[in-house]
Each structure stands twice: as structure tokens, then as C-alpha cells.
């Protein structure tokens, strides 16, 4: 090492403060009256439950994309389903490092590697919440498309360029979402300090001037409304409208004519559609409701509360469940999806896939 390099290192070390405060996670553990319970909660939530659910969801969404990219899956609804599966897959992949951080390091804010510190300080919440928010909007777009097809069929069939609009929507939603979530990258900063053994440690510090400002408070509530509250209300309302429209159509059919075998088969498919939409909406509502409550009521002081950590763990698990079960719901209620899946994996004797007809808009 040259003399000049040694002088630069010495000057850098001299200008670097010592890490005189313990990591946030250690402080919380020493102050907590439920240390053992907290560790057990973290282990079973982030070491057992969430990895298993994430694994099922990752496999399921990969199978979703495998099926939804087949040649016969070309309707507008399937375009939105592909977008939903893709964003859900990435969100589940990003949940893996989150689980590892909570399981192995708790709420620690000190890291020995600069890149790791930058990821958890600036990118963890930005990417994780961004892809979850994108999945929410994809589901809202899918539900809206189903609402138009079922409740306003004349308008739906007159839309000759609906495929182009769907592609434009799928392109704009990610761009808008990640622009909207970009302030998350400013919530924390990374500073270097010296540990007791003179090794460099990178500390994550909250940017209080930003996170405690009025602008950030307004921004947080805007996010909660756009990506939590409004989608929950919209998906619930639209699916109720779809359900009641379907009931009215069924009553009219039964009152007018005696249904033929083909019409009864079509009615069975439509019933499966209602079951699919109902199960998706119910899953979305109940899995997102705890996270809505958490996002509205959360304060930094709650981190030390064991009851809060239990509710937070349940909310995180349920939110992951919402993005992990779509493949299994599609297989259960969608005949075309199920037949395409069997054909794709080589079980052709179970497959009866037909090219999509003009009326396939209501077969999903």
C-alpha cells in the first residue's frame, strides 16, 4: 500500500463516527417483555408459513404464465390475467428476502455490506409495495373488463380495438405505479460508521425530515386510498354488480324458454364464471382487509408491541396468500384454463380445448 493510500484510509477512518447506538432490532428486543414469543412468532411466520405460501404461489404463478401464454388463451381477459400473474410472481419473489431479513435479523438497521444496506433502505419497500400495488391494479382492470363484458355486453362487443386498449393499459399501469411509489426510495438513508472492532458498518437511518413532513403524510394517505381502500371497494362493488346481472339473465332465461342441453351447458359455464369471480373477490377482500387496517393505523411506536407484531404477521401472511392461490382457483372454476393446463403438461386425454369463439369473452 502506498503512503498516499494509507493517508487516505486514515483520513476516512478519522472522519467516520463510531456506531455508538445499538441496532434498532437489538433495542427493541431488550425493551420487549415478549422476547421469546417474538422470536417464536418470527420463526413460524417468516420461517415456516410465508416460505411455504410463497413457494406454492411462485409455482402457481409460473404455471399460470405457462397456460396463459398458449395460443388459445388470447382474449382480453387473459391478457389481464397474464399481467396479474406476472406482477404477483415478482411480488412473491421479493417476499423471500423480506422473510429472510425478518427471520435472521429482526428489525436491525446495521449491515456490513453497503449494497445490502442500500437494498433494504431504499429498494425493499419500493419494489415490494410497487409490485403488490401493480397486482392490485391488474385485478381491478380484470374485474372492470369482466364487468363490461357481463353487464354491458353490447358495448363490449362493439369495441373493435379493445385488444389495443388492453395492451396500452398493461403498459401504462407499471409505469404509473412505480412513478407513484418512487418516494419510498427517499424514506431512509445509509451512513457508514465504525464498529467497536474498527470495521465499517452501514447504518440505515430514517429520513425524519421527509417522513414526518405534511407532504409525506398526504402522500401516504393517497397511496392507502389508491392501492388499498379504493380497489377493495371497487372489486367488491363490481363483482356484486356482475353477480346480480347474472342472476337477472338466468331468471329471464328460465321464464322465457325451456333450456336445451347446449344452453344448460352454457349456463353451467356461466355459473363457474360467477364462482370464479366470487372466490377471487372474496379472497381479495378478506386477505387485504387486515393490511388496509394496518396501513391506516400503523405508527413507528407500535413496533415494540407484541400484539402489533402478531397482527402484522397475520396481515403479511394473508396478503401473500391472496397472490398465491390464483392458479388453483383458475383450475377449479375455469374449464378452458384447466383443459389447456392438462394439454400443456401432456395429459391430452383430459384435454378438450377448442379455439376461442367470438363469445369466449364470458368463458373466463
Q: Where are the beta strands (DSSP E) in the chain?
A: 110-111, 188-194, 200-206
Task: Tell me how far apart the alpha carbons of residues 42 and 99 are, in angstroms, rounded to a whole number.
Answer: 9
Beta pairing partners, 200: 194
Task: Tell me how far apart the alpha carbons of residues 68 and 340 are, in angstroms, rounded to a whole number.
Answer: 9
pLDDT the model gives residue 362: 41
State the pLDDT confidence band at 171, using cuts at 50, 70 and 90: very high
Share of the chain above pLDDT 90, in %: 26
**Which comes out higher in pLDDT, residue 71 or 154?**
71
Contact 361, 75 (CB under 8 A): yes
Contact 23, 289 (CB under 8 A): no
How do residues 105-132 score in pLDDT, each as one tens digit?
776 778 888 898 899 999 999 999 999 9
H or E element at residue 351 = none
How do residues 231-242 score in pLDDT, each as one tens digit?
988 988 998 888
Task: Tell me how far apart the alpha carbons of residues 223 and 296 are, in angstroms, rounded to a whole number.
Answer: 10
Model pTM above 0.95: no
State the pLDDT confidence band at 262, using cuts at 50, 70 and 90: low
Residue 3 has pLDDT above 60, yes or no: no
**Which comes out higher in pLDDT, residue 140 or 242?**
140
Task: Tell me how far apart the alpha carbons of residues 298 and 285 are, in angstroms, rounded to a whole number.
Answer: 20
| Phi, psi of 338, rounded to the nearest 5 degrees | -65, -45
| 235: DSSP letter | H
Q: What is the pLDDT of the chain when averaged over all its residues? A: 79
> How many C-beta atoms lie closer than 10 Å to residue 93's C-beta?
16
40 is written with which cell numbers? 417464536
List Cβ neighbours of 69 (8 Å cut-off, separation of 6 or more).
82
User: Strand, coil or helix: what is 24?
Assistant: helix
Task: Tell me how far apart the alpha carbons of residues 284 and 87 are, in angstroms, rounded to a whole number.
Answer: 15
Residue 28 has pLDDT above 70, yes or no: no
pLDDT the model gives residue 25: 42
Residue 65 has pLDDT above 90, yes or no: yes
Task: Tell me how far apart the alpha carbons of residues 68 and 98 are, in angstroms, rounded to a whole number.
Answer: 29
Domain boundaries, the chain: 28-180+224-353
Q: What would the CATH number be for the domain defined by 28-180+224-353?
A: 1.20.1070.10
pLDDT the model gives residue 202: 87
**Cβ burial 278-311 (10 Å sphere, 16+ → b, else e):** eebbebbbebbebbbebbeeeeeeeebeeebbeb
101 is written with which cell numbers? 431479513
| 17: DSSP letter | P
H or E element at residue 3 = helix 3-15
Amino acid at each position: 500500500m502506498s503512503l498516499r493510500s494509507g493517508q487516505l484510509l486514515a483520513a476516512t477512518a478519522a472522519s467516520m463516527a463510531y456506531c455508538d447506538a445499538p441496532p434498532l432490532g437489538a433495542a427493541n428486543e431488550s425493551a420487549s417483555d415478549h422476547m421469546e414469543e417474538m422470536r417464536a412468532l418470527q420463526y413460524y411466520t417468516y420461517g415456516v408459513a410465508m416460505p411455504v405460501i410463497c413457494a406454492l404461489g411462485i409455482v402457481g404463478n409460473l404455471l399460470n404464465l405457462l397456460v396463459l401464454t398458449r395460443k388459445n388463451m388470447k382474449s382480453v381477459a387473459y391478457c389481464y390475467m397474464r399481467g396479474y400473474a406476472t406482477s404477483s410472481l415478482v411480488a412473491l419473489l421479493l417476499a423471500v428476502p423480506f422473510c429472510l431479513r425478518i427471520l435472521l435479523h429482526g428489525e436491525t438497521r446495521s449491515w456490513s455490506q453497503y449494497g445490502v444496506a442500500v437494498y433494504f433502505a431504499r429498494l425493499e419497500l419500493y419494489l415490494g409495495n410497487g409490485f403488490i400495488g401493480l397486482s392490485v391494479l391488474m385485478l381491478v382492470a380484470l374485474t372492470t373488463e369482466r364487468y363490461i363484458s357481463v353487464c354491458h355486453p353490447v358495448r363490449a362487443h362493439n369495441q373493435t380495438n379493445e385488444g389495443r386498449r388492453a395492451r396500452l393499459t398493461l403498459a401504462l399501469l407499471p409505469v404509473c405505479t412505480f412513478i407513484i411509489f418512487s418516494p419510498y426510495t427517499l424514506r431512509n438513508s445509509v451512513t457508514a460508521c465504525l464498529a467497536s472492532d474498527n470495521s465499517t458498518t452501514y447504518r440505515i437511518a430514517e429520513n425524519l425530515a421527509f417522513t414526518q413532513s405534511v407532504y409525506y403524510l398526504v402522500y401516504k394517505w393517497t397511496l392507502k386510498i389508491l392501492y388499498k381502500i379504493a380497489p377493495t371497494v371497487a372489486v367488491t362493488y363490481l363483482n356484486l354488480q356482475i353477480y346480480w346481472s347474472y342472476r337477472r339473465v338466468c331468471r329471464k332465461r328460465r321464464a322465457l324458454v325451456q333450456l336445451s342441453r347446449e344452453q344448460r351447458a352454457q349456463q353451467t359455464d356461466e355459473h363457474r364464471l360467477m364462482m370464479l369471480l366470487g372466490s377471487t373477490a372474496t379472497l381479495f377482500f378478506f386477505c387485504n382487509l387486515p393490511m388496509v387496517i394496518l396501513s391506516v393505523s400503523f405508527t413507528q411506536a407500535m413496533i415494540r408491541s407484541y400484539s402489533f407484531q402478531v397482527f402484522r404477521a397475520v396481515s403479511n401472511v394473508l396478503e401473500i396468500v391472496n397472490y398465491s392461490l390464483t392458479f388453483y382457483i383458475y383450475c377449479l372454476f375455469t374449464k378452458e384454463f384447466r383443459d389447456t393446463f392438462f394439454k400443456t403438461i401432456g395429459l391430452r386425454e383430459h384435454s378438450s380445448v377448442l379455439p376461442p369463439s367470438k363469445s369466449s369473452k364470458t368463458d373466463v
